[in-house]
C-alpha cells in the first residue's frame, strides 16, 4: 500500500480516456513530472469569463440571454479553492479534490455546476469529452457532500474565439492600445452521474498501490524509444539516432 492517494478531478478523468495507459497513470500519480508546464493564458481567460458572468448576474439577477440554454439562473456561489473543495474516502484512503469554474444557483434553488472551456466547440466529438464528463461529475460528487444540494445539472460552457478574417478586419476590434477578440458561447450539457465516481476512485487507488508501474499500452512507440535509450550507452550512435527521431 502506498498511503493516502490525493487525486484531482481531471486526473481521475484520465481513467475514462479512450487511450488510457495505466503505466502513464502510475507515473503521474507517483512523480512530479518536470515537463508539465502549460501557458497560463487559458486560466486567465476562464477567470475573466467567470468575472463577466458574475458581474452580469450582480446587475441583472440572471445570465445573458445567449446563455439561456443553461436554464433559469438567479445567482451564483464563488467556487471554493481546491484546497477546500475536497472529500476524503476513509475506506479507500483517497482524497478527491477539484475546483469548479462555475456554481450557479437556479430558480428552484438547485445548483448547476459548470466548467469553462476556451476552445473550438467540437460537441461530443471532442476526444477529451470522457475526461470532462468525469471531471464535472467529480465536482458534483464532492459538492453534494458539502453544502451544494441538490445539484441538478452539469454543463460545459465553451467560449469559442472568433478568429475569422471578417473579425480581424472589423474596426470595432481595433482599439487605441491593441485589439479585442470576440468569443461566442456554446453549451453542452453533461449527464449527471456522480454514482460512477467511487468505482473510478477504487481503480485509481488500485493502480496507485502497485509497487511497480504496470505495463504500458501495447504498441506505444514512446515507451519503446525510452527503453531503447536507457539501455544504450551515452556515446552510442544508436542513442543519438533515437534522439534525432524525436
By CB under 6 A, name the binding residues for ligand SF4: 21, 23-24, 216-217, 220, 222-223
Residue 31 or 37: the one with the smaller Cβ distance to ligand SF4 is 31
Q: Which residues are 156's β-sheet partners?
A: 115, 188
Tell me how far, at minimum, the Cβ of 222 lies from ligand SF4, in Å. Answer: 4
The cell numbers describing 239, all together, are 542513442
In this structure, the number of other CB atoms found within 10 A of the CB of residue 221 comes to 8
Tell me how far, at minimum, the Cβ of 226 lies from ligand SF4, in Å. Answer: 7
Residue 223 or 229: the one with the smaller Cβ distance to ligand SF4 is 223
Tell me how far, at minimum, the Cβ of 21 lies from ligand SF4, in Å. Answer: 3
Tell me how far, at minimum, the Cβ of 217 lies from ligand SF4, in Å. Answer: 4
HSE toward the beta carbon, residue 80, CA cutoff 13 A: 14
Tell me how far, at minimum, the Cβ of 134 lies from ligand SF4, in Å. Answer: 18
Yes or no: say if 142 and 100 are a contact pair by the CB < 8 Å rule.
no
Residue 218 or 235: the one with the smaller Cβ distance to ligand SF4 is 218
Q: What is the CA radius of gyration of the chain?
A: 22
**To which H or E segment does residue 13 belong?**
helix 9-13
Residue 56 or 225: the one with the smaller Cβ distance to ligand SF4 is 225
Yes or no: say if 134 and 13 are a contact pair by the CB < 8 Å rule.
yes
Residue 11 or 118: the one with the smaller Cβ distance to ligand SF4 is 11
Closest-by-Cβ residue to ligand SF4 is: 216
Query: Can you state the angle between helices 22-30 and 197-208, rounded to 10 degrees?
Result: 80
Amino acid at each position: 500500500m502506498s498511503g493516502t492517494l490525493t487525486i484531482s478531478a481531471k486526473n481521475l478523468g484520465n481513467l475514462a480516456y479512450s487511450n488510457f495507459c495505466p503505466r502513464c497513470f502510475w507515473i503521474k500519480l507517483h512523480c512530479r513530472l518536470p515537463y508539465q508546464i502549460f501557458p497560463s493564458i487559458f486560466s486567465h481567460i476562464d477567470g475573466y469569463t467567470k468575472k463577466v458572468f458574475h458581474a452580469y448576474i450582480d446587475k441583472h439577477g440572471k445570465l445573458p440571454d445567449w446563455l439561456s440554454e443553461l436554464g433559469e439562473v438567479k445567482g451564483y456561489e464563488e467556487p471554493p479553492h481546491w484546497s477546500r473543495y475536497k472529500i476524503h474516502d476513509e475506506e479507500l484512503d483517497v482524497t478527491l479534490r477539484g475546483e469548479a469554474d462555475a456554481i450557479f444557483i437556479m430558480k428552484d434553488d438547485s445548483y448547476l455546476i459548470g466548467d469553462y472551456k476556451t476552445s473550438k466547440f467540437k460537441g461530443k466529438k471532442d476526444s477529451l469529452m470522457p475526461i470532462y464528463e468525469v471531471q464535472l461529475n467529480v465536482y458534483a460528487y464532492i459538492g453534494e457532500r458539502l453544502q451544494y444540494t441538490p445539484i441538478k445539472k452539469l454543463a460545459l460552457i465553451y467560449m469559442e474565439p472568433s478568429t475569422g478574417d471578417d473579425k480581424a478586419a472589423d474596426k470595432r476590434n481595433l482599439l487605441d492600445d491593441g485589439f479585442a477578440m470576440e468569443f461566442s458561447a456554446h453549451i453542452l450539457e453533461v449527464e449527471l452521474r456522480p454514482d460512477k465516481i467511487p468505482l473510478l476512485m477504487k481503480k485509481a487507488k488500485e493502480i496507485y498501490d502497485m509497487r511497480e508501474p504496470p505495463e504500458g499500452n501495447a504498441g506505444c512507440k514512446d515507451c519503446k524509444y525510452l527503453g531503447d535509450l536507457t539501455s544504450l550507452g551515452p556515446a552510442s550512435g544508436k542513442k543519438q539516432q533515437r534522439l534525432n527521431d524525436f
